[in-house]
Amino acid sequence: MSREEEFVKKLEERFGRRVRDPRIQRARRIFVEIDGKDLREVLTYVKNELGFDHISAITGLDVGEDIELIYHVAYENSIELSIKTKVSKKDPRIDTVADIYDPAGIYEREVHDLLGVVFEGNPDLSPLLLPDDWPSGVYPLRKDKSFEELRELVEKSGVSGK
Amino acid sequence: MVKIVVGPQHPALKEPERFLLETEGEYVKNVRVRIGYIHRGIEKAMENRTYIQNLYLAERICGICSDAHTTCYVQAVEELLGVEPPPRAKFIRVITAELERIHSHMLWLGVAAHEIGFDTLFMYVWRDREIVMDLLELISGNRVNYAMNTIGGVRRDLNSEHVDKILKGLNVLEARTKEYIKMIEKEPSVLKRTVDVGILSKADAIKYGAVGPTARASGVKRDVRADDPYAAYDETPFNVITSDGCDCFARIIVRAEEILESINITREALKKLPDGEIKIRVKPRIPPAEALSRVEAPRGELMHYARSNGTDKPERYKVRTPTLANIPALCKMLVGGYIADVPIVLAGIDPCFACMDRVLIVDHEKKKSEVWDLEKLRRYGREWYSKR
């Protein structure tokens, strides 16, 4: 059994059907899906019990009704486990994991800026990438705003990038 | 308590940051960070362009490690397509990547020397860096933005003349780099400004997610080339350089020794360079899939995530650069250190230039604020040290 298969087996033993669609895409790449309410429990487990001690990034995607979040965590800088979950676009909220993985704090700020997801418990969700005077409620990486609209917005509203 | 704002940096340099330093006397007590001053919206732009057009965007994410970004990009797209580039292309990717690492590390070594006021070393290193710049121009036609990679392989082949010239250039670079290491290890002006400065313990390097030479200088033996091999790195074995110094000096030595290691990898790749095609043809439309691609950029782990939707444009493209990953660790290094050490500690993670263009000093006692430029902060650092 490969290390990847072992990790999937352990996740299934521990969380049963709460871990959905585990997929080993290729060597060193695992993808799984979970519910947002299980996020902290799963991440705590993979960090403390399985040794995934590094968070590479948090990816956010606009998938229509929902925002999909992918937490990419790494085992010995080798195996990347991507844990996917969804939050409703109407009320995009999820618990912070910055107390589990320190660097997650800054990655949550990035997703908060660009997709408007609120990470409850994150002490600092101030703008990281967008200008201080960026209009509220405009999230550049959501699909309802085209690249052209965003450019117009920047030019018209006098968003100065300061 | 005095608050000092460092940055934002010059927009001509990439990844400018602003650091708000809360200070007490000469000590930094707390750091708050703000980036995004040249946020260009590349991830959004990539959703609007075809996979081929995005090659050009990926090339321009970074001006120093453009090859790392295109390598990461083409690997992600190749995984979406389910294709493998020919073996010769994989070796040419390794050669270009290592030449790029040599140029990037030498550029950094010069910048680090400048930050501590050792401009002689800066001049020497940058003079010698021209050797590798010429080699990159020789094989790619460009000094920067080499455009070597394409989906399914590389765009340019190497001939025997290229190989000879690269080997000759590497010999000179190797001799020069060994000379620098000897010089740095003995030079009191380097030792005084970098030993025990900007401490990041091994445990903290892991905790705060440090990557690349920054992590390796804290004794964390991690390198994507070795741990998650891509291109032809599984066929060009090398030593992962680490140091237990955990300070700015260790970061200098690790990068200098990595230049030597890159020279060895390039030689090995040239020796084993297989014959054959350099690229395969691929379809413009990509069925729904996802891929996570990683590369060891000169500054550390670079990660791209791609999702396709059946069209010729990606549904989502995500980029996480090594400098962003190193920022939490950088904040940790700054806290507890001297204001005078801020330039070299900032430069220590190699945030592409660590150029603090504008420094705002807020003196709460006198209720006045004053803008310092980088030169003033640097001078402050040098004068402060000369009085000690």
- Do residues A85 and A122 both lie within one domain? yes
- Do residues A70 and A144 both lie within one domain? no
Which whole-number Å values give the CA distances from B273 to A159, B169, B266, B280, in the listed order?
A: 51, 18, 10, 18
- Do residues A89 and A158 both lie within one domain? no
Look up residue B254 and give its amino acid. Answer: V
- Do residues A148 and A161 both lie within one domain? yes
**In A, what residues contact B, Cβ < 8 A?**
25-26, 28-29, 31, 53-57, 59, 61-62, 70, 72, 76-78, 80, 82, 101-103, 105-107, 110, 113-114, 124, 126-131, 140-141, 146-147, 150, 161
Structure tokens at B358: 């504008």
- Do residues A111 and A140 both lie within one domain? no
Pick A161 or A69 by higher pLDDT: A69
- Do residues A53 and A39 both lie within one domain? yes
Domain assignment present for residue B214? The answer is no
Nearest CA in chain B to A81: B292
- Do residues A100 and A83 both lie within one domain? yes
Contact B289, B80 (CB under 8 A): yes
Domain assignment present for residue B158? The answer is yes
Query: Which residues, in sequence order, are CB contacts of B31 under 8 Å at separation 6+?
Result: B19, B20, B21, B22, B331, B334, B335
Q: Which domain holds residue B383?
A: 2-38+325-387
- Do residues B33 and B48 both lie within one domain? no
- Do residues A159 and A105 both lie within one domain? no
- Do residues B59 and B176 both lie within one domain? yes
Among B48, B206, B303, the residue with its CB nearest the CB of A72 is B303
Q: Cβ A140–B37 below 8 Å, yes or no?
A: no
CATH of the domain at A94: 3.30.460.80
pLDDT band, very low/low/confident/very high, at A133 (cuts 50, 70, 90): confident
| Interatomic CA distance for residues B116 and B354, integer angstroms | 13
pLDDT band, very low/low/confident/very high, at A29 (cuts 50, 70, 90): very high
Task: Count, in order, helices (H) and strands (E) of chain A.
Answer: 4, 7
pLDDT band, very low/low/confident/very high, at B360 (cuts 50, 70, 90): very low
Q: What is the mean pLDDT of residues B344-353?
A: 74
- Do residues A154 and A121 both lie within one domain? no
Percentage of chain B lying above the pLDDT 70 cut: 90
- Do residues B51 and B174 both lie within one domain? yes
| Interatomic CA distance for residues B98 and B81, integer angstroms | 26
Q: Looking at beta carbons, which residues of chain A come within 8 Å of B292?
A: 29, 72, 80, 82
Element (H, E) at A151: helix A147-156
- Do residues A120 and A136 both lie within one domain? no
- Do residues B125 and B273 both lie within one domain? yes
- Do residues A123 and A155 both lie within one domain? no
**B206, B292, B323: best to mutate for the A interface, most A CBs within 10 A:** B292
Q: What is the mean pLDDT of residues A2-11?
A: 97
Q: Which domain holds residue A142?
A: 130-162
- Do residues B46 and B165 both lie within one domain? yes
- Do residues A115 and A137 both lie within one domain? no
**A56, A75, A122, A130: best to mutate for the B interface, most B CBs within 10 A:** A56
- Do residues B139 and B280 both lie within one domain? yes
**Least-confidence region, from B4-8, B48-52, B167-171:** B4-8
- Do residues B58 and B23 both lie within one domain? no
Contact A110, A122 (CB under 8 A): no
pLDDT band, very low/low/confident/very high, at B8 (cuts 50, 70, 90): low
* Number of domains comprising chain A: 2
Tally the C-alpha atoms within 13 A of residue B210's C-alpha that lie toward its C-beta.
30
Pick B366 or A136 by higher pLDDT: A136
| Interatomic CA distance for residues B347 and B303, integer angstroms | 22
- Do residues B175 and B275 both lie within one domain? yes
* Number of domains comprising chain B: 2
Domain assignment present for residue B13? The answer is yes
Domain assignment present for residue B114? The answer is yes
| Interatomic CA distance for residues B2 and B11, integer angstroms | 27
CATH of the domain at B112: 1.10.645.10
For residue B366, pLDDT beyond 70:
no
ipTM of this predicted complex?
0.95
| Interatomic CA distance for residues B58 and B54, integer angstroms | 6
Q: Where are the alpha helices (DSSP H) in chain B?
A: 42-47, 51-59, 66-81, 87-115, 119-140, 160-186, 188-194, 202-207, 212-216, 224-227, 248-272, 322-334, 342-348, 374-387
- Owner of token pair 């390598």: B71
Q: Cβ B325–A56 below 8 Å, yes or no?
A: yes
- Residue B324 is predicted with a pLDDT of 86
- Do residues B310 and B161 both lie within one domain? yes
pLDDT band, very low/low/confident/very high, at B361 (cuts 50, 70, 90): very low
**Average pLDDT score, chain B:** 88
- Do residues B309 and B172 both lie within one domain? yes
- Do residues B302 and B371 both lie within one domain? no
CATH of the domain at B362: 3.30.390
